[in-house]
Structure 1
């Protein structure tokens, strides 16, 4: 039993990328004496979880697997389920650095010992890491995730994302794009380097593939500057010049760039005609006042200034695009006027991975469940405090 995680690691390394689920099944059965396993992957909307081994590949609509599997995915905790036949199913989250991929189910012939449960948890971690790596080498798991065909713009946007969530001792970050299968210009990006978290949220000009291409150029220009050692100002200025010299001011990208010092909670920001920044502190929801500067790409050689503010341990930041803030489907007040703040307050006890979904669902309800008229991005960042100390 002590070598069980090592055994599954070897099996996963030796398996082809499109067969890691089958390799994990054989290794887990052998190591734990399991009678069966199943792997479920979350779809793009995170509206359901879908089995890999017997998933229909026709994009069939439906709610996906719910119940115990969904409870495990949402809580990010192992969940046991005992049957009348004496069998026990352990549901385990498949998560890598805070990125929620899905759920592993292990079926045992009897009640497991704590040693078995710990081994199963370790195996789920090994499988999650392998699934994330294999995702770049095969389309199999992406086909499970999509419940309808992606537009070309959405295909580009999802490929550009770093992930949908990430965790650290001092913060937890998550984001969501909607409409998931047709999103165009809205986007988010992040990178964690030596105790600094850089987050960018973009509201690209235009619609469809043209907007997605504009956003892709902007994101990669900022990444180029960041990976060359440039700070927020250099990232904004290189991206702005790149867009300007491509489009001569006819296209632009409203962008918010943030850099969080994970130890101190100090935030540096460049507000380039940005998406909206909102802080939730306790039960209070308020805009973070930043001086708006020109969107990226409006003029050549535009220069940007840094602004700074501090977070208190337990603070939550939301960044939302105009498709969220300014939504007014029936000509009444916009979503950002009052309804959005109510939705954000309702997320107080939820982690960011659940909070972004709550705000998006409330936005959908605000639209009376009609399709969103504009792209929408919601990013949620919790700063826990230095070394993630308990906030009570």
Structure 2
């Protein structure tokens, strides 16, 4: 069998899910004269790249972070004539981490291209393996999660997604103890469905409420329902369980990937904005009742249009309404400043920039709510 992507993929598919890094490293030792191999996975807050093969080894440094941020290989010739390669581990735009390889082979474009492709095979295998082993979950966390956070993270679709016409990323913070804010997305054919939610209350009860709403909307969506039917099914489910004593503020969006036309159901507090060329404008929608507030609530679709080069941003009230220590709400002016800092960043970097600015705004005051931001770039033309 030739040593190409297909053979590497077959090797990984035949490997137990918790042994992928070791088998992949052994393959590189044998076929590519690798002196050392390390798989570095991003932690939940995307602030650290943590090693898998040697858990006690050093975390990723500036070069690894550069590779993770730029999504481009980093190649360094070694003094002995060999090569040090840092390669992104990414699946459909979802950034998992970085593969670090030290090999005795000389730097060459063909070597970098081949190993970059192999890194993609490993990334796909690691993402799939998450369903069947806890090993990579354990590496990605710096501390123990609360039960609410565990449920919330398992419910998320991913942290970034790329398509021909869009780049999409989402972030949830704080990472290790959350209170019900959430985002969800799915792409099928020429439709991208995106939701941002804020569950009523805090702790485990808020997360269970959000879990019910998200799964109700997924159930409707997977049955072919539009966003009005998704909202109404979720609202009915929440009301049937809580009788109007709990609700879920939700913004549902469905984007036509062929035209950029957006249908929206605004059922609460998340806010949408469009940024372009340094200018930011809020999308004005008629706010309807949060999900589950009353029985038999009915919703209506509103529409707006994405133009080439637009950046769509959606934030939960933990971002725009944050007022630590009685300060003015973050959304009053500081949020716009934070968003402008992201103008030249891809969505996967932009969401982190906004949340870091929000942390700075809180200074030494602990947040009293989750913060969710979702960023979508509508590209000038299909790639």
> TM-score, structure 1 length as denominator?
0.95
SS of equivalent to 1:220: helix
Q: CA deviation at 1:223?
A: 0.3
User: 2:26 corresponds to which residue?
Assistant: 26
Q: How does 1:84-163 map to 2 (within 5 A)?
A: 84-163=79-158
Cα distance in 1 for residues equivalent to 2:246 and 2:168: 29
Cα distance in 2 for residues equivalent to 1:313 and 1:56: 46
Q: CA deviation at 1:282?
A: 1.3
Of stretches 249-258 and 7-16 in structure 1, the one that deviates more from structure 2 is 7-16
Is the 2:144–2:176 contact (alpha carbons within 8 Å) kept by the matching residues of 1?
yes
Kindly indicate whether residue 2 of structure 2 is the aligned counterpart of residue 8 of structure 1. Answer: no
Q: CA deviation at 1:147?
A: 0.1
Is the 1:179–1:371 contact (alpha carbons within 8 Å) kept by the matching residues of 2?
no
**RMSD value over aligned CA atoms?**
1.5
Cα distance in 1 for residues equivalent to 2:234 and 2:381: 32
User: 1:17 corresponds to which residue?
Assistant: 17
Q: CA deviation at 1:109?
A: 1.2
Offset from partner CA, 1:6-48 (integer Å, 9 cap, x none) = 3322221111000000111111222322222110000000001
Q: 1:114 to 1:144 in 2, by over 3 A?
A: same
Is the 1:202–1:321 contact (alpha carbons within 8 Å) kept by the matching residues of 2?
yes
Q: CA deviation at 1:93?
A: 0.2
Pick one of 164, 175, 184 that aligns with 1:169.
164
Is the 2:325–2:365 contact (alpha carbons within 8 Å) kept by the matching residues of 1?
no
Is the 1:11–1:27 contact (alpha carbons within 8 Å) kept by the matching residues of 2?
no
User: 2:220 corresponds to which residue?
Assistant: 225
Cα distance in 1 for residues equivalent to 2:124 and 2:13: 11
Q: How does 1:42-57 map to 2 (within 5 A)?
A: 42-56=42-56
User: 1:270 corresponds to which residue?
Assistant: 265
Offset from partner CA, 1:123-178 (integer Å, 9 cap, x none) = 00100000000111000001000001100000000000110110001001111111
Offset from partner CA, 1:217-261 (integer Å, 9 cap, x none) = 000000000000100000000000000011010000000000011
Is the 2:77–2:107 contact (alpha carbons within 8 Å) kept by the matching residues of 1?
no
Cα distance in 2 for residues equivalent to 1:210 and 1:183: 11
Kindly indicate whether residue 333 of structure 2 is the aligned counterpart of residue 338 of structure 1. Answer: yes
Gaps of 5+ in 2: none
Is the 1:8–1:28 contact (alpha carbons within 8 Å) kept by the matching residues of 2?
no
User: 1:179 corresponds to which residue?
Assistant: 174
Count how many residue pairs are aligned between Structure 1 and Structure 2. Answer: 383
Cα distance in 1 for residues equivalent to 2:26 and 2:7: 11
Is the 1:47–1:64 contact (alpha carbons within 8 Å) kept by the matching residues of 2?
no
Q: CA deviation at 1:115?
A: 1.5
User: 1:60 corresponds to which residue?
Assistant: none
Cα distance in 2 for residues equivalent to 1:73 and 1:115: 21
SS of equivalent to 1:10: helix
Cα distance in 1 for residues equivalent to 2:49 and 2:366: 22
Kindly indicate whether residue 380 of structure 2 is the aligned counterpart of residue 378 of structure 1. Answer: no
Cα distance in 1 for residues equivalent to 2:7 and 2:98: 20
Of stretches 328-337 and 158-167 in structure 1, the one that deviates more from structure 2 is 328-337
Gaps of 5+ in 1: 58-62
Cα distance in 2 for residues equivalent to 1:49 and 1:177: 18
Offset from partner CA, 1:318-366 (integer Å, 9 cap, x none) = 1111111111112121110111101101101100000000000000000
Cα distance in 2 for residues equivalent to 1:33 and 1:203: 51
